[in-house]
């Protein structure tokens, strides 16, 4: 019952086998295994009306990072990335795993941290909400930890303990990812070929850690049709989760398609590109938060609007909310992609595009992330 749900975290590198505890409430609670916390969790969850919960001590480096954040923040971790704004708001810290501490921390939030680096994510009904919360917490913790070090370096408060902890955590990072073999060659001329290409590219993106399976989106245009991942579709499980919509204009077919459909549609309609990939590579996101204008009057609303054009390694950094609308990414991402083949969204992720297949988009995503990783550590080592 639980094994398939929990295996996705092992496959994506977020958890070790046996490190996750999943609970679902029907007439009574059912758990994926025994744990000393279960009596306390049931009492808290029943009081709050939550019917799904995931408790997990994530794999390294997430566990050490979250443990560090739980130690140093004053009762709550406040990340600045997109996934936190959408899924979490912030991450309260329960100092002790007792009923009162857990209940207080979960009172107004679905996901919390515990001392030692564990995550408790809950949902009112289905477990998918808890899965999203856990994934978002791991991503947000990673981005927050490394972003905070950059900020502390900029303001001169980085100390010896920071350097020591960074050295320890850096040793836990996976090696820079690489693509072992080319993807399918395009252009693709049948729906079946497109489905296979989307699934292959999505799985490769997740496998290399360039997006967590619960996030990201991908599309390909053939004639007047755009094939795009559905909302919430894991990029490494796209079979049966691709929507076919009109490539040119919005229609009733759009329901259920990825939130980023407006950006994908403009890219494939207004540029030479027909393959579009959106991932959340961590070090690219971290550097996008390292705005060089420390005294900007727009600070605090950077994710929505930025009047100052800037780039990282030749990749434009753009702003906007997910989807369309007045502040939607469809305003900013397509022009940037048209000009450079890629756009880095502030605190959010990276869009890349290709003319015939996904070798270019996946390769560019990988290239930019590895360059940002190198640049990050060069900045810290060089002091600016």
The confidence score (pLDDT) of residue 213 equals 61
The two beta strands, 315-318 and 342-345, are parallel
* Inter-residue contact 365 to 277 (CB < 8 Å): yes
In terms of CATH, what superfamily is 191-382? Class II aldolase/adducin N-terminal domain (3.40.225.10)
The confidence score (pLDDT) of residue 232 equals 86
The confidence score (pLDDT) of residue 60 equals 96
| pLDDT average, residue stretch 290-302 | 67
* Inter-residue contact 329 to 323 (CB < 8 Å): yes
Peptide bond connecting 105 to the previous residue in cis, omega within 30 degrees of 0: no
d(CA 355, CA 186): 9
The confidence score (pLDDT) of residue 317 equals 94
Q: What residues have CB less than 8 Å from 140, skipping those under 6 apart?
A: 77, 79, 81, 83, 84, 88, 91
* Inter-residue contact 321 to 85 (CB < 8 Å): no
| pLDDT average, residue stretch 328-345 | 94
* Inter-residue contact 46 to 123 (CB < 8 Å): no
| pLDDT average, residue stretch 164-190 | 94
Query: Mapping DSSP to helix (H, G, I), strand (E, B) and coil, where does residue 274 land?
Result: coil
Mean pLDDT, all residues of the chain: 89
The confidence score (pLDDT) of residue 1 equals 56
Percent of the chain with pLDDT over 90: 65
Q: Which of 77, 59, 66, 71 is nearest to 20 (CA)?
A: 59
The confidence score (pLDDT) of residue 303 equals 59
Digit-coded pLDDT (tens) for 223-267? 999 999 999 898 999 999 999 999 998 989 999 999 999 999 999
Q: How confident is the model at residue 57 (pLDDT cuts 50, 70, 90)?
A: very high
d(CA 107, CA 114): 15
Q: How confident is the model at residue 215 (pLDDT cuts 50, 70, 90)?
A: confident
The confidence score (pLDDT) of residue 324 equals 66
Token pair 């027909």 is found at 274
Q: Where are the domains of the chain?
A: 3-170, 191-382
Tokens found for residue 10: 């092992």
Q: Which of 319, 313, 314, 311 is nearest to 348 (CA)?
A: 319
The confidence score (pLDDT) of residue 291 equals 76
Q: Which sign does the torsion angle of CA 362, 364, 368, 370 carry?
A: positive
The confidence score (pLDDT) of residue 12 equals 79
The confidence score (pLDDT) of residue 328 equals 78
Digit-coded pLDDT (tens) for 77-134? 766 655 555 544 678 888 888 999 999 999 888 999 998 999 999 999 889 889 989 9
Q: How confident is the model at residue 198 (pLDDT cuts 50, 70, 90)?
A: very high
Q: Which of 253, 241, 264 is nearest to 324 (CA)?
A: 264
Instruction: Inform me whether the pLDDT recorded for 72 exceeds 80.
Output: no
Domains 3-170 and 191-382 share a fold: yes
3-class SS string, 190-216 = CHHHHHHHHHHHHHHHHHCCCCCCCCC
Alpha helices in 27-174 (DSSP H): 38-48, 62-72, 82-83, 99-106, 128-154, 160-170
Q: How confident is the model at residue 206 (pLDDT cuts 50, 70, 90)?
A: very high
More confident site: 380 or 190: 190
The confidence score (pLDDT) of residue 43 equals 97
* Inter-residue contact 197 to 186 (CB < 8 Å): yes
In terms of CATH, what superfamily is 3-170? Class II aldolase/adducin N-terminal domain (3.40.225.10)
The DSSP element (H or E) to which 24 belongs, if any, is strand 20-25
DSSP 108: S
| pLDDT average, residue stretch 297-309 | 62
Token pair 């808890």 is found at 130
* Inter-residue contact 230 to 257 (CB < 8 Å): yes
Token pair 């921390």 is found at 105
| pLDDT average, residue stretch 322-347 | 88
């Amino acid at each position: 019952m639980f094994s398939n749900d929990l295996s996705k975290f092992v496959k994506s590198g977020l958890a070790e086998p046996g490190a996750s505890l999943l609970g679902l409430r029907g007439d009574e609670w059912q758990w994926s295994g025994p744990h000393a916390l279960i009596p306390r969790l049931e009492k808290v969850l029943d009081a709050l009306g939550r019917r799904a919960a995931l408790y997990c001590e994530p794999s390294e480096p997430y566990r050490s990072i979250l443990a560090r954040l739980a130690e140093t923040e004053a009762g709550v971790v406040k990340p600045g990335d997109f996934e936190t704004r959408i899924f979490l708001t912030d991450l309260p810290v329960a100092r002790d795993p007792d009923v009162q501490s857990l209940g207080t921390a979960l009172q107004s939030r679905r996901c919390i941290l515990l001392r030692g680096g564990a995550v408790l994510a809950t949902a009112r009904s289905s477990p998918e909400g808890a899965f999203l919360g856990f994934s978002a917490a791991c991503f947000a913790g990673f981005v927050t930890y490394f972003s905070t070090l950059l900020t502390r370096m900029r303001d001169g408060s980085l100390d010896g303990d920071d350097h020591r902890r960074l050295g320890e955590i850096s040793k836990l990072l996976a090696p820079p990812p690489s693509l072992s073999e080319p993807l399918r060659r395009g252009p693709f001329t049948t729906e079946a070929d497109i489905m296979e290409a989307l699934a292959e590219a999505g799985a490769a993106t997740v496998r290399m850690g360039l997006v967590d399976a619960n996030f990201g989106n991908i599309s390909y245009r053939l004639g007047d049709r755009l094939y795009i991942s559905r909302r919430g579709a894991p990029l490494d499980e796209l079979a049966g989760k691709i929507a076919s919509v009109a490539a040119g204009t919005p229609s009733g077919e759009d329901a259920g398609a990825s939130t980023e459909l407006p950006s994908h549609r403009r890219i494939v309609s207004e540029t030479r590109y027909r393959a579009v990939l959106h991932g959340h590579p961590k070090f690219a996101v971290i550097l996008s938060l390292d705005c060089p204008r420390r005294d900007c009057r727009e600070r605090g609303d950077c994710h929505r609007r930025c009047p100052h054009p800037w780039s990282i390694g030749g990749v434009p950094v753009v702003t906007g909310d997910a989807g369309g609308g007045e502040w939607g990414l469809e305003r900013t991402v397509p022009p940037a992609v048209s000009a450079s083949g890629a756009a880095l969204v502030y605190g959010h992720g990276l869009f890349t595009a290709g003319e015939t297949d996904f070798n270019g988009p996946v390769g560019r995503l990988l290239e930019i992330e590895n360059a940002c990783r190198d640049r990050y550590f060069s900045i810290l080592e060089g002091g600016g």
